[in-house]
Structure 1
């Protein structure tokens, strides 16, 4: 099997950043992120008002709709295709307690949850069950050229060097992603994310600027200075903000992936005897140990400075002002999000 590693790792990297954002003030005394003034607006679009079971059900329904459309598209292009609703693309829900970066017992096991993640453990458990592609026998019955045509019709042609870009990045366009891209667009069009619509372009810009500027606020700067001084005293100097500590692990993990998969411009033969899975490497294991060591020192400094509680207090105060200044646009967004479900 050949794989272009950086593309495959892109989604994982995106999840890492999401989790990194959650791994700071996930709990702050009597406060929680559910108290966020912005949460009642954003949750309308991103399922925060649904239970994990409801989110899973919604994900499965959309997956089934997508696969039915893929089968229709492939048939029109002259190929057989059995809807595949067990291909691992559904939502992975988590039970309460899976993500507890403010608890020492959790940090001792997972650090920041980057290298050794409770979600990775769940995924491993899920993949231990034998997976059978309902289209495998049909694809194997095709000639090599027919198989190439099958996959290009299903997923679109492989990006060339120009499309990949010098840094290995790739701008996804559903129009170039074959029947899968078309089907996903059709289903998501019915449940479109209003936040990405032109109607809310100004609100998007304002929120992006808000998230950036809030972290640079005097209140956060003061809190981070106290945290950084504690880290320096504990033998972990060089960090300006708490996010910097998390990012240092992300950067090292990314470097290990890059070393194994290259820049994405050339396919990597993952079945070659010379290939070493970076996730199974000694370097990754060592980084996982370093992650836990750093995260424990970080946790101690967060506890000493009441970082979680103060972070939420600061963030919510800033959000209250943002909501007051942009209430009409946020209400319109919330209304559009609720109608899109």
Structure 2
């Protein structure tokens, strides 16, 4: 399966999905419960899986930065997330019981089990795109072609049965009191997470994640994380990648696609149609799985665009140019930040002990 570039800039136990298109997601470590759910969604497509601009470029995972980080960076391991999810939910249930509420541990294992990774071998090539497009329909459907079933929370009915006051108390017990974002957080687009103020979810997070959670949410490496995120912006603005984008756009125009200045925009153009098919945008219970006819229609559109996209990438050497620039900028980054990276790696392993 291809990797998101930002996945290459995040420790294995922490990832998040960004709603912001065309910009790298900030490094902002989330509570483990959010991390697990988001990881499951990313692996199974229980949320719409239109590739983000970052995902349309296969960010090399064996570059200088990944090597310098000693294997810390990358996608979450499904088995690790599955195990931690179960432990976390059990801790939440115990805590909520102490608070006087019913809570059934949510089983997310089906989300991780829904996708066969072998179906994605070869993703990121014109050959694979000719059959699977970007993988949007593929990741949102099971092997038999039926849509991935919507995951349900067994606590929904109980929460809905509570009075308004009881519901507020329930949410406060589960997630902590909502304090809103500070002015600085609004301006920066980043927010901090303090498990000690996050109710039973935070208590469970600390028990399961321990020092690791505190480590990633601390301020010690904020500057380093932000500098890491800047690499992607620098890659996009490099004259070589800009020239590759222009050559790719000319090729796509020859194929009848004239609206896309870079590969990122091609994949992102499917966002609205994908969300309409696969996202539960109404109230709980309103979601209706797409029909086979709707899937077939979208799949035809997806494959046509993706095949043209990846064919043009291969014809103009877009990916090789991207990789060259990434490796060069990462090597420079590692040279400039060697001391901070070594300190980060050492602190990470200490937090894991």
Deviations 1:61-93 (A, max 9, x none): 322332232132112212344544556576877
Q: Which has the larger radius of gyration?
A: 1
| Matched position secondary structure for 1:184 | helix
Instruction: Provide the residue aligned with 2:95 in structure 1.
Output: 73
**2:85 maps to which residue?**
63
Asked if residue 152 in structure 1 is aligned to residue 179 in structure 2, the reply is: no
* 1:146-295 pair list within 5 angstroms: 148=167, 151-152=170-171, 155-156=174-175, 178-192=199-213, 194-254=215-275, 261=281, 268-269=282-283, 271=285, 277=288, 279-280=290-291, 286-295=297-306
Confirm or deny: 8 A CA contact 1:195 1:333 kept in the other structure.
no
| Deviation of the 1:283 alpha carbon | 6.6
Instruction: Give the unaligned 5+ runs of structure 1.
Output: 1-5, 27-32, 164-168, 262-267
Partner of 2:120 in structure 1?
98
Compared with structure 1, are the counterparts of its residues 47 and 154 closer, same or farther at alpha carbon in structure 2 (3 Å cutoff)? farther
- The change in CA–CA distance for 1:16 and 1:182 in structure 2 (over 3 A counts) is farther
The 1:254–1:175 alpha-carbon spacing in structure 2 relative to 1, beyond 3 Å, is farther
1:237, 1:112 → 2: CA distance? 19
Q: Cα deviations across residues 286-327 of structure 1 (Å, max 9, x unaligned)?
A: 444322111111121112112222221221112111111111
Whole-Å Cα distance in 1 between the matches of residues 222 and 238 of structure 2?
A: 24
Partner of 1:298: 309
Contact 2:235 2:326 in 1 (8 A): yes
The SS at the match of 2:270 is: helix
Q: Does the 8 Å CA contact 1:226/1:305 hold for their aligned counterparts?
A: yes
CA distance in 2, matches of 1:171, 1:256: 31
Between the aligned partners of 1:196 and 1:122, the Cα distance in structure 2 is 38
Structure with more helix by fraction: 1
CA distance in 2, matches of 1:335, 1:278: 47
* Conserved? CA contact 1:36–1:316, under 8 Å: yes
Indicate if the aligned counterparts of 2:241 and 2:325 stay in contact, CA closer than 8 A: yes
Indicate whether 1:24 and 2:57 are aligned.
yes
Whole-Å separation in 1 of the counterparts to 2:327 and 2:50 = 21
Contact 1:203 1:329 in 2 (8 A): yes
Change (3 A) 1:288 1:181: farther
Q: Is the 8 A contact 1:70 1:180 kept in 2?
A: yes
Partner SS, residue 38 of structure 1: helix
1:119 Cα deviation after fit: 6.2
Gaps of 5+ in 2: 1-18, 20-33, 183-188
**1:47 shift after superposition:** 5.7
What is the distance in 2 between the residues matched to 1:335 and 1:122? Answer: 42
Q: TM-score, normalised by structure 2?
A: 0.66
Question: How far off its partner does 1:276 sit?
Answer: 6.4
Shift of 1:246: 1.3
Check conservation: 2:51, 2:268, Cα contact below 8 A.
no
- Residue 339 in 1 paired to residue 350 in 2? yes
Give the Cα–Cα distance (whole angstroms) in 2 for the partners of residues 67 and 294 of structure 1: 41
Q: Say which structure, 1 or 2, has more relative contact order (CA 8 Å, 6+ apart).
A: 1
* Aligned mates of 1:87, 1:130 — CA distance in 2: 10
Tell me how far 1:34 sits from its aligned partner: 3.5
Count the aligned residue pairs. 306
Q: Secondary structure at 1:277's aligned position in 2?
A: coil
